[in-house]
Structure 1
């Protein structure tokens, strides 16, 4: 979504040619702080229309401002207020959902050294089955059975990360050009994957437990197509952080059975599932594609995903797997298997859960009731607000060296009223995180005008 310019166009009262009066007005407002660094300037035609002047006059004024270094043109995007850009070291990135770094150099070095002794060039250089070697699939099936889902190894496909698993599930379940129902606010990667498949996304209302069963039933009933497919994240929903209780999970499954709908369950945050809450794939194995991954619960560098497939869809899913990847990385699979077998995966996961809980508590203490949900662990938080407020908060934070997820990135329908800002709190150091949260708090406490004012 393209943000509107915060500038109210005017001509200076100073005498001179029209383009000179426009330049003077802009210079005056820049000096007064009415236009912050990075703010979008009005489009040429829009400015000419609003001031009742010629398009050439605007072009001449903008050219003069650019020569003076006051604005800069970005090809394909427009004209922006120029200024000192933050140094890379000064930027605190809360836009990418990354777990806290709990994997030590010693563990990684020891693992790679052990694998070097275990794996020779001949075995490394061989092609493996597209779905993954059986020993790797059995290891991940064992991992899932310990904490999430009991499933046979031959029901698992190993992928190059959970995003790859999601792309396969969407293609296999809905087909190219199909329709996918999902939360009105959802994971940006799912939006991109669906669009890549030319699939239409249908926004479904959600509440503080995630997707609403009544809204899903109504959306299914209004759909005239043959296939009904729903993508959802029951645990630590991205971006709102909501987690479905047992009754909600059962209700969602009941709606899907009534309408013979296929479920794509994204469970990459399974580490944070409260005890006693089953996966949807456990409640409805006959219709659920289940996605698990390790980059969100162990380390982003561990690009291994697992896709549990309903028996009837296995052949179709395998076809999409082979079309998109010959095989999952043997080295990544070997690391994952070793960490599961020797307990590293469990230990690192527990450390990440503790760290995420502490960080969530820190954010709660700084931001208070503005955070949704008000309690719980995880490494992303949601600040619900109007789209206009979310856009101004994101812009104000960026001007102060804090990057947040662009509000429109998580919206299925950019015209929807439900909006907000996602804060990813896992990656920064604790010191940087505190500074970033305090910056967000100051912006939240101020007015929309304050957010657009220069730092």
Structure 2
């Protein structure tokens, strides 16, 4: 076959990213086959009238995406077989990009100052057990009692003995899945769900079944049918606006899901990482089915990202399994960070920062309404993001790539796709990961792209 070459007429700023997108599209379309050798950095630079540094950055971007490999002394080669799935967000923030891809709370200098003060307090009050002990039961009894107080604010009355303190929600979620979904089992979840579930299913050896959703989330009848047709062992749900479509499940729906789980004797894993941030919500799923729900919450998305502490509540039947799997996968949460979390819960700082976050997010939603006026999207006033279905003739890949070419990173909806059923292209846009000014500018780019000619989008890639 004739070797494909990038078109210099299609290079846009930033040039390295535009070049990387051209090569990526050629790989995806099959114009560059697996194993094909790319020109040297200098040859490509001469052909396109670019600097060698620009071509080097483009190749580095393609290596990061897993599309090419660089071999010292041999050159750069196309590799279409990716070993790991791409995350929906940028792994690192590039200086010239407005990053609306990663889900973060709003952060200001005040948050850093709070952490500095907490670390100063810790240096004066560090206990010997926090610094020296290997035994979770020695370190955490007091912290579990404080955790029970926090969980009361989330709508749960639980014994400290049923609480495991984890290094954030991801650790809690992983331990919960390990405890109820052995290799070869099936876990049901929302058709558009948690992006981490997809690789976790591969790593832990269970299968995922994506179920139909509506404007309240998972449909109970879909869960009931799946349980009758397949040996479902657990259902993973995100009922309180942290799910990609930002839906809030009401009390009746939660009760119905709990009843289906009880009827088929399956476990429920509830991801509630926003906890008390979401006002006027129904009680957690764990309230409706406490005997079978493993409840996960954390501080990272509602207080400050560096406070990587979470709580995993397990019913009596799973306490031993959770404790054992937490020990082998994490041993225990980092005691010194837990000390800060417990102090902030006890003195009211954590809830103060939750209230601040709620108000900051609502201002961000006002900006989204202003900048995307007339555009249909899904959101909740307390969500960290919006879900934007794309109009007809728009592809996710093209839309996300064109936004990147114009300096804005957004997350493709397909990263959250669990079900292989009918699919409407969409993107997830984080509202908390930038300043208000950057958010306004980034949403302005998105709005212009939506109003532009889709044919021009395809030609520019």
TM-score by length of 2: 0.82
Match in the other structure for 1:395: 401
| 2:241/2:380 contact within 8 Å kept | no
Which residue in the other structure is 1:320 paired with?
Answer: 325
Residues 191-230 of structure 1 mapped to structure 2, 5 A cutoff:
191-223=198-230, 225=231, 227-230=232-235
SS in structure 1 opposite 2:99?
strand
Using the TM superposition, give the Cα deviation of residue 284 of structure 1 relative to its aligned residue in structure 2, in angstroms.
0.5
Cα deviation for residue 256 of structure 1 reads 1.3
The 8 Å contact of residues 294 and 312 in structure 2, kept in 1 or not, is answered as: yes
Helix, strand or coil: the match of 1:368?
coil
Query: What RMSD over aligned residues (CA atoms) do the two structures have, in Å?
Result: 3.3
Match of 2:46 in 1: 68
For residue 293 of structure 1, what is the aligned residue in structure 2? 298
Comparing 40-49 with 262-271, greater Cα deviation is found at 40-49
CA deviation after TM superposition for structure 1 residue 87, in Å: 9.7
Larger CA deviation: 202-211 vs 407-416: 407-416
Which residue is 1:141 aligned to?
A: 148
Secondary structure in structure 1 of the residue aligned to 2:156: coil
Residue pairs, 1:259-338, within 5 angstroms: 259-275=264-280, 277-338=282-343
Pick one of 26, 45, 68 that aligns with 1:42. 26
In the alignment, structure 1 residue 405 sits paired with structure 2 residue 385: no
Q: State the shift of 1:412 in Å.
A: 1.5
Aligned residues: 421
Q: 1:36 to 1:153 in 2, by over 3 A?
A: same
Of 348-357 and 186-195, deviating more is 186-195
Instruction: Give the distance between the partners of 1:312 and 1:275, measured in 2 at CA.
Output: 31
- Please point out which of 353, 360, 363 is paired with 1:355: 360
Q: Secondary structure at the match of 1:260?
A: coil
Query: CA contact under 8 A between 1:173 and 1:262: conserved in structure 2?
Result: yes
Encode CA deviations 1:293-342: one digit per residue, 9 max, x unaligned. Answer: 11011011111111000111111111101101221111111001110111
- Say if 1:36 and 1:453, in contact at 8 Å, map to a contact too: no
- Decide whether the 8 Å contact of 2:247 with 2:379 is kept in 1: no
Q: CA deviation at 1:346?
A: 0.9
Cα 1:143/1:264, change in 2 over 3 Å? same
Q: Tell me the distance in 2 between the aligned counterparts of 1:330 and 1:61.
A: 51
Structure 2 CA distance for aligned equivalents of residues 338 and 163 of structure 1: 22
More displaced 10-residue stretch of structure 1: 188-197 or 230-239 = 188-197
The answer on 1:434 being equivalent to 2:418 is no
Q: What is the CA distance between 1:393 and its match in structure 2?
A: 1.3
Extract unaligned runs of 5+ from structure 2.
49-54, 69-76, 79-91
Aligned equivalent of 1:379: 384
CA distance in 1 between partners of 2:244 and 2:135 (Å): 36
Q: Rg: which structure is higher?
A: 1
Cα distance in 2 between the residues matched to 1:220 and 1:383: 31
Q: Note if 1:421 corresponds to 2:399.
A: no
